[in-house]
Structure 1
Amino acid sequence: MVNLGDEVPEFSADTTKGPIPSFRDFCRGKWTMLFSHPSDFTPVCTSELGAAAKLQGEFAKRGVQLAALSCNSLDSHKQWVKDIEGSMSEGQHIEYPIIADPKRDIAKKWGMLDPDEKDDSGKAFAARCVFIVGPDCTLKLSILYPSSTGRNFDELLRVIDSLQLAAKLPVATPANWHQGEEVMIAPRVSEEEADKLFPGYRTIQVKSGKAYIRKAKVQEGQDGGPAAGQS
């Protein structure tokens, strides 16, 4: 399994949008969301790829490129796309690539396989994995869903907003946070630094007396300097 902060595993693959000779080169300098699917021509997977197609503009606004993966052949993917665009994407064409992985080589390398879900020959399918890769080709977030649970793509946009903000500023986002709401100033930031970066921030009073909950509004376009781990 790929761990947070790891350089993501390299692979080459055929996709519905042409070959990817090097996945790291594909990712380098951009935010990327790789999301895997158990199999083509299955109901939940079809709904998910349609949901992603409908939100392509929102991902693009954030500078995020999408790449899906399913453990089937390229020809199968091309036929499947017709079903998705005809039933689940509200007329949106799938502009992102769907990676073919019929031998499960990529799924194995990334730790995607679900031992409880197998095809007729006994080969394990990929689980519903989400990997968000930063511009430096390291893993920033991973989420693993069972095959029975479709993903919430609005939530994936929310976590991308959080990741990208934390890559620019020394902040973290609280529970149920959405873009535009107050953020938490990171504990490592001194009071002097906080005053410079977040003028007017507020400290929440707690019974322990410790001043560790500091909230601030972040202005659009605000940048705290070079982002940790980014290139």
Structure 2
Amino acid sequence: MVEVHSARDGERNALRIDVDDLRAKIAENKPYHPDPIKPTDDLGKHGTIIRLSSLKRQRLDMAIAGLRKRVARRFDVLSLTVPGDDKTPPLVRIQTLIRDARNRLEGELSAEERTEVQGELQNTFYVTINGDPIGFHDRVELKKLEYIWEFGGEVVPAENLADDVKRTVIPDTVPGDSTWKVTGWFGTVAKPDQARRGQGGGLAQEHHHSVARPADPGRHH
């Protein structure tokens, strides 16, 4: 069973998907309509909660480990490093970061300051599983990298890379338009067989994780 709860701009919605029923409808080539449900009180004012239930207990630990790896691979174009004091739980730091930014928007700000804070919120995206944020430590295949190129500075924490990895920092600017910056990294492994996918996925020979955004969050192309 899958439940999706979401809140945004004062609107709250939730639905439940019966996986067995969904599969049956797909097999019959019929439309499937999830059941609307009451949003959970844990949702807060903004965000999304996905709940999985009726999982097979003997496979649960393996499923979570594999899920963390897959999610980390797909979302490290955003952020896998939670800022703040390491003594504070990561989830609390994320909630504080978002809450503080929203509180600043409710105060008196200049147009430039408001645009800056809105840009921070737009680019703040973290994924947690069972309250534990996805991080670079979930990218276990990073240890296989022989070379890594990072835009604008060292992006991946050293402890998540091999001791002998060769790191290169390259410019994060876009030629011809200084208002855009590139963030992220890409890397290569020494041998193709090191890139084979295992449980939770693996690396391609060249694994790209980068994104280009306006240096000024208020400017869009």
Give the TM-score range, shorter chain: under 0.3
Query: Which structure is higher in helix share?
Result: 2
TM (norm. structure 2) is: 0.27
Greater RCO between the two (CA within 8 Å, min separation 6)? Answer: 1
TM (norm. structure 1) is: 0.26
Query: Which structure is higher in strand share?
Result: 2
